[in-house]
Structure 1
Amino acid sequence: MFVDSHCHLNRLKNAPDRDSVAKLLEGARSRGVNHFLCVSVCQSEFESMKDMVAGLEGVSLSAGVHPLDVDDGLDIELLRQQASAANVVAIGETGLDYYYSKDSKDTQQEYFTAQIGLAVELDKPVIVHTRDAREDTIQLLKDGGVEQCGGVLHCFTENWEMAKAALDLGMYISMSGIVSFKNAKELQAVAKQIPLDRLLIETDSPYLAPVPHRGKENQPAFVADLAQFLADLRGERLEALAQQTTANYFNLFKLAAN
């Protein structure tokens, strides 16, 4: 069994409504993908995202504000309510992105700090997006006490030093389809070093489809292709990688229905 530990089901162009999402998830189950974490990026989309996946088997939710969506605003009281809703197992995705947006650096840090604090308060793990912000990301996680709630650096594309710093904080590292790209040799070297008991896999659907689907809209079924790539890269049995990454997911996201 596989878990897609990070997807945006409400943003799939090929599955624009609840019925088409349900059909797409059935296709994923036929490939052994039986659980899905549908991740929020802004508060204004949360209710429609929640309604779209309501009642769908094996789907959990997060609530949070992405660093590239800070213009949408952060109402921490509203986020506390959203994060307390049924089936919400995590805070995020939140974090820092200085690659696409340096102008909002101060706001990103403010929102990231607030969401780490809420994650600690509610004892729910935090889902972290980070790009070109290695030192600040790790420092704010340390300062916020992320060890108390746990978390994951999702869609990881940084270096081993950052991965090691996150692992030292008790966090998990999640690999997306990027690691399967031909030009991702440095990331592949990092992927080989991550302890299997701290590794997660994700699609980040509808983005970043792995080889051999690159160029297509990504979907949860493709996490099986990513898992096969990582098993081959790391010299592990696919069954062992599937079993351990699934166990890791439920160890981190303890409120997710297994």
Structure 2
Amino acid sequence: MKAIDAHIHLDKYPEDERELIINSLGENQVEALICVSMDLASCKENLRLFENCPRIHPAFGYHPEQPLPSDAELDKLLNWISRHKEKMVAIGEVGLPYYMRTDSKNAHFSYEGYIELLEQFILLAKKLNKPVILHAVYDDAPIACGLLEKHSIEKAHFHWFKGDRKTVERMIANGYHVSFTPDILYEKETREVAELYPLQLMMAETDGPWPFEERFSGIMTQPAMVLDVVKELALIKGVPVEQAGSIFHANTKRFYKLKDIF
């Protein structure tokens, strides 16, 4: 069963762990990685990794759970992305800063700036005809949906999604994809989303190097864990594992327009 890790921060691993991951992809049946970026430096590193490994497919963006970039920094990033559009599969990771916004230490948090930033990335994705990879959970998700609808964006991938039933139904109606991490094995709210979402709009991810709990506690997060995600989703959806794996694999290849390499 071939698998694709639909969302990983490969550039954020220590170099020795990164090399271990890349060198073990084949034996672990992982055909490809969608490597998302945090900022311009991250974009450049993911581009370098892509140029040295055909299994790596970079996405370029600015992660929302950090201070806003200056105007000059943003212009530099947007121009850089536009110049390297042929090397990327998507705009990402972009979105809204739920965890920063809800942190009690951020009493005077300026939310509007992040909404404006997300809209700029959505407009860039539309201009470049690329999908958008979103970090937008809980009550941030309806705002992200509104921006996507406003600009008629059809190809949106909500990673590690958590949210209410109404938003889930809205996302399904719009044909937005979601991906699930290893927390599907133990997080009730993640499992509830999986029960509602159709298989044809699902993908599997690790969000590595983010660590996971229970059976994954103390273990380095690596792309091979997407196979555990596939098995659990197959159980939840009541389909054979091989069928689920084939569907998730096809969904991810189609969404990101990945070519057959291996």
Quote how far apart the aligned CAs of 1:210 are: 6.5
Q: Which residue of 2 aligns with 1:32?
A: 29
Matched residue of 2:54: which SS? coil
CA contact (8 A) 2:47 2:87 kept: no
Tell me the TM-score normalised to structure 2 length.
0.87
Pair 1:168-2:170 in alignment? no
Pair 1:122-2:124 in alignment? no
**Segment of structure 1 superposing worse, 184-193 or 118-127:** 184-193
Matched residue of 1:69: which SS? coil
CA contact (8 A) 2:182 2:206 kept: yes
Quote how far apart the aligned CAs of 1:209 are: 3.2
* In structure 1, C-alpha distance between the alignment counterparts of 2:188 and 2:218, rounded to whole Å: 19
For each residue in 1:196-235, what CA deviation from the matched residue of structure 2 results, as whole angstroms up to 9, or x when unmatched? Answer: 1110110001014365213433111111111112112222
**Counterpart code for 2:68:** D
Quote how far apart the aligned CAs of 1:83 are: 4.8
CA contact (8 A) 2:65 2:99 kept: no
Considering only aligned residues, what root-mean-square deviation do their CA atoms show, in Å? Answer: 2.0
What runs of 5+ residues in structure 1 fail to find an aligned partner?
none
* In structure 1, C-alpha distance between the alignment counterparts of 2:179 and 2:82, rounded to whole Å: 22
CA contact (8 A) 1:9 1:206 kept: yes
Q: Which residue of 2 aligns with 1:93?
A: 93
* In structure 2, C-alpha distance between the alignment counterparts of 1:83 and 1:22, rounded to whole Å: 29
Quote how far apart the aligned CAs of 1:78 are: 3.4
* In structure 1, C-alpha distance between the alignment counterparts of 2:115 and 2:96, rounded to whole Å: 7
Pair 1:79–1:257, CA change in 2 (3 A): farther
For each residue in 1:235-256, what CA deviation from the matched residue of structure 2 results, as whole angstroms up to 9, or x when unmatched? Answer: 22111111111111121112x3
* In structure 1, C-alpha distance between the alignment counterparts of 2:75 and 2:31, rounded to whole Å: 32
Q: Which residue of 1 aligns with 2:259?
A: 257
Pair 1:161–1:208, CA change in 2 (3 A): farther
Quote how far apart the aligned CAs of 1:70 are: 4.1
Q: Percent identity?
A: 26
* In structure 2, C-alpha distance between the alignment counterparts of 1:80 and 1:245, rounded to whole Å: 33
**Counterpart code for 2:74:** D
CA contact (8 A) 2:49 2:56 kept: no
CA contact (8 A) 1:178 1:208 kept: no
Matched residue of 1:153: which SS? strand
Pair 1:78–1:4, CA change in 2 (3 A): same
Matched residue of 1:68: which SS? coil
Quote how far apart the aligned CAs of 1:190 are: 1.9
How many residue pairs match? The answer is 249
CA contact (8 A) 1:99 1:131 kept: no
For each residue in 1:20-56, what CA deviation from the matched residue of structure 2 results, as whole angstroms up to 9, or x when unmatched? Answer: 5343133232221111011011123221232234221
